[in-house]
Structure 1
């Protein structure tokens, strides 16, 4: 059975297809002859209920191409959105291959269905000075939303009110435009509440723009999510608000917010969902927070239409879940994927000990849930992935790691496409590049463009530098097994004959900062840690560590920093001790991390060298090569830092003068690599790139270099002062033996309350023993272990009934004794894009 598909989303996609065809001298035909080559799509699109593999079972976003005998194409889709994806994909193929005939070659295998249900992109309004121009520009939105939809994002999240973290910003708030959004958008019936300095005409213009943005989002087949991240109308702490909110009191705050939200939903019928920061940083104290949110959720429920209520998961408790349980509302919790950063595609095997729950001290009730009793909800999925959960869960990739430099690795993006649905979760919101530019009052009029080189500036089109970043994210979240045609059409259009070199250099270099983030977990907050423009943490104790002391272990130096996943990666000083003692365990070592970083740089170097020889003055080519150079330098910098810190830790453990000399030599390499960045970016980027007012939120590589140099000089001074260096040799770092002979097939499911047998087969004679490490998919828990019993080539252990008698899925991995070394199993692949443990569900898992 089939029927024709039409409507706004299909018409939009046909228009985009026409644009691509015209660039090749082609045009569509409904059967009439015309001038020039013709392309027939007959019928334009149809919905197939049982005819084709993807469209029959993949939902409204799925599509297949069906070549017809007359040379035309039928796009069989599960719905209008899938039809639009098929049309856009057809344009990609024509553009890449140059002709209609070439585009048809093999097209029958080019359909798809979504791997990740929610594929969101998040854009933040962070500064009235830097963001109001794009917010009110219709042309900007037309081009921007076109590309997001073509990239196959299916949700656009406009985030308002993320400028500040109430109660955590020591200087209060100044630039509060659209922060407490209602009075900047509405005159609420029966309430005399205004934003001082905002005229009724300006307020109405803002509302009209919100209507336009939400309607245009829906027209392209994406859902529109409005983020109302702040509900504080007065930030206190002697804040000098540029737009003081007048007419509210603490007693009327909740009632006004509920009424305003109800009216906003009536005025903007294309809002599909709302995102709220419900812990104290959103302006509502943790103590009795459900009283305020009960009113707000009631206002949303009263709209009469189905709405997703996305609660930022940090600090969520049972009281908030109960408050959201109302007619028409679909509660969803959105957790941070890797704290407030972009890490590797897998989810941390464990959280830092700093994130574990603590008792609430007297006087800390305002932050009690978030910072103490449910502290483990701050930077991961916490205890929200029970199979019997009350609310669905999704993830958000925050913008702490990388805000400025180009990113694009199809392999790691595919890893996210496979793992963003971890534990049955719904998907992911990706915070886009340049996120938080101008945040916390740091913005200046006309200052959003990060470039000062006139020929590289982009103005309101700054987002277009990152077209490839968006494309790789969106397409690989949709289909992690997508063919390279999905992105190579764009690369060829943009870089011509140099497309292959750009792809092969950018892919490995894009793995550097996510890996550094995971292993060097010096700060969970994006406010305090920005590895892209790294504020130096010293290796030695002879240099002031600066602001890092608030969110890392003491003393704050490289050797004490916990990885964000301390189960999978070593803390440097722990590794140094085990190395000296001869007891190195299975965790990945900082020496191995350095090898990976150097490997990524080396993999890119051949292609980057070729790009350096190109004399093109095309602006995007130059922007790309500059960023590749910086990423390469950062890879060499961090590799040398890991090596230097490791050798310094060995010196501290055994007094080896050789280890200290090695530490100094590696630190010199780190300094030299960092200094090279300055040569690459001189006159290119702003001298103070502002994403906030904190020490790590703004700056430039030139401003960071002196601290790198001070740490090096302190280490040299320590070496010079070593009057009687020990002749103890620095121990050799172990090489992991290959474990290719190990095989394990996870059970399909487990029965709650029954023993679960786990077996592992090994044909590797070096395997001496295996330990099973397991826990529930609950980050509030620690791992339990069981020694596996050997029987021939097999090892067996049991996860006991007491542990399987739970509503949580199980996760586990193996610690393998190889005699001279130990190894984790499963191990990372070469792109670090897989999951280094197994997850299994119970037979009772909800459908």
Structure 2
């Protein structure tokens, strides 16, 4: 290859994202001994270039038609691309786009092809048109530790590589969050702040005229260095075509009498707090014009008491409004009330509410059909102060862990989701099916999109950080230093590219896998896809706590099965008894709790809910598929694996053992619940057998990670935020010992009278040809007919329609569906459709000789939506694909 030419209009070539993308293309060409030449017209030496890329504005219809392009995309960030062979045997690529980001995406697509296969990936063919499925595709990085995060914050080379990868994977928003690591409030854990560096961020960045506020121990030079780093990050983010979002999650400057702040904030008081913050925000936006938006935690955990909170925020929002440019104000959804919405309604501000996708965790891609009862009930506790938390924890507790009641079609404020870092903080994740599901359902209810908290978020949280300890590995050959994010490049790729296009062709990620894993690529893809489904599913079904600092499935703090070993750890966020039996799923409409399943199984009254035994069966199938792929990888190794393959294999081994553990624990918990109801000694004996095997699988993780991971992986100070898999084993042994005693006692007793035989359901029949027939939109105030058609009905089949508004404060209504030939039909009354909310519904179908099922239900990869969402004719546009 002797050269790559990029030609286009000067105003296109001058755009920063286009220049950045051309630089990336030049880097790929260099690996093939070529270089990129840029011109605003046809090059005189064009014949020397074996690859020519012509950029055309999408609105230039004459040029696009002449180039053979049709049906131009005009949405932001879209492009059309066509490859043709030229007379000299080279390749000519014609690209049309409506904006600079669209051109950048097309150029980085060419960069990926060139790096992977040279000209072999430039086969002439039909036009490729790409449009973004999700308007907001974000990554959030959290500064949580002065010891572990300062290195990457100030490392210019880090930001070059990291932001290059994010932009190449088509993320269009980068959020750098300060102050997210502490929750100000009334509880004990809220008053023990230590590492407060950049937590109340302003005095670590600015000397605000008219105030004498400073962080003790931070010099003026250090403050200026911090501001310069922040400005650099914002500029570099914008240069790549991404928006820069600054998260100012904390406005508390003092966490209480028993906090020992490492950098006490001096010169501030309640009397000047709001005025200082407003002045600081005004100054920050002026000093860094590349800030596109600000994220605020506006409820009391961000430091501002609920009572009268609008007074403080009105001043801050006025300062944002004064910036002289449009600014997005992203408000964390928890505790938002009308007073906050009134305060943010100011010129120049584009307000957005950001809700949690699955509490503070990563679940499966759909949105919970219902939320736990605890989220619908106000909460108080000894020492509760209504002035501090009355709105968040009582009046608006509904807003805690989902989309709440924010998705009205007539809402005045836009909404988006955030995936919090609770489920997998450490292990590699990579399932294209689930990633595609996020791409389809991130715009649920017309939402703007989603932002993912990245892996390793909160590492070193709440003063647990130590210099040189952010990288979790012990071995020098596995350590990545400040580039620890590179382990997760495949995760970022799947999230970004499949948010942009959920139907992207597999080669989108397989090019990367081939470069990363060579001959093992296909098997690694299979293993990661199968095993990455386990912990998101466990999170959804075993909703023991919505808080990421109390529940970490990846390094699980054991909740006992035995009634005699109840745990206090999860008691604040899960109902009594504090055992597996009583834990509510995060979606109690779709999934059975263990005790609830045991009750219905014994009574023979199962509903269409998915049972704990079905969940265990899914996990076991995924473990089997993952293990088989891992075995094939290892069989093909002639020498020790390269570093990234080694990291990946270790994580996959951990996931297989976690899968066996959780599958076994679900099965054991069911057996114990049956024993508690029947006294059957066979059930308690089976409980012990299953739990012994489950615990053995968990214990085997210790050998897998020995000498690989640190022995104290600290993401906070709590028992479930730090430590090692080995630390969890004693509590498991205590649970097993208690169950063994119960078993022995049960075996000594007289056998109970013949008990009812439970209905065991670990699989279900399916109606694969079933489909709902409804209008594209419903008309508000008019009855809506919902028809369920299938060619495989039997004369005895029956169905019931479950429906509600897309409002998590509601429960589902049920109506029996009428049989009409080969379909079922039911009407949703006009008084119910007379609402500003979309509708959601599913059917429960019963067949003689079988247990009921839900339709549409889940597919095999849990990447679909198990209900239907329907918008009204009053909605101008719906962005969600597949609704």
Aligned mates of 2:517, 2:48 — CA distance in 1: 27
CA contact (8 A) 1:409 1:511 kept: yes
State which of 802, 805, 819 in structure 1 corresponds to 2:834: 805
Distance 1:452 1:359 in 2: 43
Corresponding position of 1:407: 429
Alpha-carbon offset, residue 212 of structure 1:
0.4
Residue by residue, what CA displacement relative to the aligned partner does 1:103-124 show, whole Å, maximum 9, x if unpaired? Answer: 2225545441100000000000
Any conservation in 2 of the 1:388–1:846 contact (CA below 8 Å)?
no
C-alpha deviation, 1:470, in angstroms = 0.5
Report 1:610-629 matches (<5 A): 610-613=632-635, 614=637, 615-629=639-653
2:560 and 2:380 map into 1 onto residues whose CA distance is 33
- Whether 2:248 is the aligned partner of 1:228: answer yes
- C-alpha deviation, 1:25, in angstroms: 3.1
Counting only pairs closer than 5 Å after superposition, residues 80-159 of structure 1 correspond to structure 2 as: 80-96=100-116, 98-100=117-119, 102-105=120-123, 108-159=126-177
Q: What secondary structure, in the 3-state scheme, does the structure 1 residue paired with 2:314 have?
A: helix
Q: How far did residue 3 of structure 1 move?
A: 5.3
CA distance in 2 between partners of 1:119 and 1:841 (Å): 23
> Residue 25 of structure 1 aligns to a residue in which SS?
coil
Instruction: For residue 529 of structure 1, give the secondary structure of its aligned residue in structure 2.
Output: coil
Task: State the SS of the aligned residue for 2:827.
Answer: strand
Superposition deviation, residue 258 in structure 1: 0.4
Instruction: Confirm or deny: 8 A CA contact 1:55 1:113 kept in the other structure.
Output: no
TM-score (norm 2): 0.93
Aligned length: 844
Q: Does 1:826 align with 2:856?
A: yes
- The alpha carbon displacement at 1:662 in A equals 1.6
**Cα distance change on mapping 1:831 and 1:26 into 2, 3 Å:** farther
Q: How does 1:563-602 map to 2 (within 5 A)?
A: 563-602=585-624
Matched, 1:705 2:729: yes
Q: For residues 400 and 55 of structure 1, what CA distance do their matches in structure 2 show?
A: 43
**Could you tell me which residue of structure 2 aligns to residue 56 of structure 1?**
72
Q: Does 1:499 align with 2:510?
A: no
Shift of 1:653: 1.6
Contact 2:190 / 2:255 at 8 angstroms: preserved in 1? no
Distance 1:580-1:692 versus aligned 2 partners, 3 A rule: same
For the residues of structure 2 that align with 1:231 and 1:415, how far apart are their CA atoms?
Answer: 36
Distance 2:510 2:465 in 1: 36
**Structure 2 equivalent of residue 733 of structure 1:** 760
| 1:155 CA drift (Å) | 0.3
Query: What residue in structure 1 maps to residue 718 of structure 2?
Result: 694
Name which of 22, 32, 42 aligns with 2:30: 22
Q: 1:721 to 1:365 in 2, by over 3 A?
A: same
Q: Which moved more, 1:660-669 or 1:418-427?
A: 660-669
Deviations 1:714-737 (A, max 9, x none): 211211111234464863513422
Match of 1:312 among 323, 332, 337: 332
* Cα 1:55–1:16 shift into 2, 3 Å: farther
CA distance in 1, matches of 2:713, 2:345: 43
The CA distance in 2 between the partners of 1:632 and 1:813, in whole Å, is: 33
Separation (CA, whole Å) in 2 of partners of 1:219 and 1:650: 61
Q: Which residue pairs with 1:183 in the alignment? A: 203
Check conservation: 2:581, 2:593, Cα contact below 8 A.
yes
Aligned to 1:816: 845
Q: Give 3-state SS (helix, strand or coil) of 2:625's partner.
A: helix
Task: Determine the C-alpha separation between the residues in 2 that align with 1:744 and 1:382.
Answer: 26
- The residue number in structure 2 matching 1:203 is 223
Does 2:875 correspond to 1:845?
yes
- Could you say which residue in structure 2 is the equivalent of 1:835? 865
Q: Aligned equivalents of 2:326 and 2:665: distance in 1? A: 52
Task: Find the counterpart in structure 1 of residue 4 from structure 2.
Answer: none
Residue in structure 1 matched with residue 3 of structure 2 by the alignment:
none
Measured in 1, the distance between the counterparts of 2:622 and 2:27 equals: 38
Partner Cα distance (1:250, 1:648) in 2: 55
Q: Which moved more, 1:183-192 or 1:231-240?
A: 231-240
Aligned partner (choices 656, 660, 664) of residue 684 of structure 2: 660
Corresponding residue of 2:813: 784
Q: Distance in 2 between matches of 1:828 and 1:685?
A: 36
Measure, in 2, the Cα distance between the counterparts of 1:121 and 1:39: 37
**TM-score w.r.t. length of structure 1:** 0.97
User: CA offset at residue 251 of structure 1?
Assistant: 1.1
Measured against aligned partners, the alpha-carbon deviations of 1:698-749 in whole angstroms (never above 9, x if no partner) come to: 1110111121222122211211111234464863513422323433223211
CA drift at 1:612: 2.6
Q: Which residue does 2:791 correspond to in 1?
A: 763
Measure how far apart 1:34 and its partner are.
Answer: 8.6
Q: What's the CA shift for 1:29? A: 4.7
Residue deviations 1:741-793 (CA, integer Å, cap 9, x gap): 43322321111111111111233344621111111100011111111111222
CA offset digits 1:607-652 (Å, max 9, x no partner)? 1102233233411110010001001111111000100001111111
Question: In the TM superposition, what are the counterparts of 1:670-689 in structure 2 within 5 Å?
Answer: 670-689=694-713
CA gap 1:692/1:37 in 2 versus in 1, 3 angstroms: farther
Q: Residue 290 of structure 1: CA displacement?
A: 0.4
Q: Does 1:754 align with 2:782?
A: yes
1:235-259 deviation digits (Å, cap 9, x = unpaired) = 1142111111111110110011001
When structure 1 is superposed on structure 2, of 608-617 and 711-720 the one drifting more is 608-617
Q: Secondary structure at the match of 1:832?
A: coil
Equivalent position SS for 2:72 = helix
Structure 2 vs 1, CA of residues 91 and 37 (structure 1 numbering), >3 Å: closer, same or farther? farther
Note closer, same or farther for the CA distance 1:359–1:704 as it changes in structure 2 (3 Å cut).
closer
Separation of aligned partners in 1, 2:92 and 2:764: 55
8 Å Cα contact 2:774-2:785 kept in structure 1: no
Alpha-carbon distance in 1 for matches of 2:506, 2:770: 31
How far did residue 201 of structure 1 move? 0.3
Which of 379, 383, 398 aligns to 1:376? It is: 398
Paired with 2:774 and 2:673, the residues of 1 have a C-alpha distance of 39
Q: Aligned pair in 2 of structure 1 residues 411, 106: CA closer, same or farther (>3 Å)? A: farther
| Contact 1:520–1:563, Cα closer than 8 Å, also in 2 | yes
Cα distance 1:694–1:58, how it changes in 2: closer, same or farther (>3 A)?
farther
Does structure 2 conserve the Cα–Cα contact (< 8 Å) formed by 1:170 and 1:237? no
Residues 50-83 of structure 1 show CA distances to partners (whole Å, capped at 9, x for unaligned) of: 5488983342311121234523111111211111
Secondary structure of residue in 1 paired with 2:843? strand
| SS in structure 2 of the partner of residue 139 of structure 1 | helix
Structure 2 match to 1:549: 571
Gaps (5+ residues) in structure 1?
none
Q: Which residue of 1 aligns with 2:237?
A: 217
The answer to whether the aligner puts 1:444 opposite 2:481 as a matched pair is no
- Contact 1:54/1:113, CA 8 A, preserved across alignment: no
Counterpart for residue 441 of structure 2: 419
Cα deviation 1:420-478 (Å, max 9, x = unaligned) = 00000000010000000000111111111101122111111111111111111100000
Residues 1-42 of structure 1: CA distance to partner in whole angstroms, max 9, x if unpaired? x95622111111011111112223343356769999844324
Q: Give me the whole-angstrom Cα distance separating, in 2, the residues matched to 1:447 and 1:552.
A: 33
1:535, 1:437 → 2: CA distance?
18
Within 2, Cα distance between the matches of 1:739 and 1:221? 45
Residues in 2 aligned to 1:299 and 1:33: alpha-carbon distance in whole angstroms:
54
> How far did residue 846 of structure 1 move?
3.4
Report the Cα offset of residue 360 of structure 1.
7.5
Deviations 1:210-268 (A, max 9, x none): 11000000000000000000001111142111111111110110011001100000000
Greater displacement, 154-163 / 107-116: 107-116
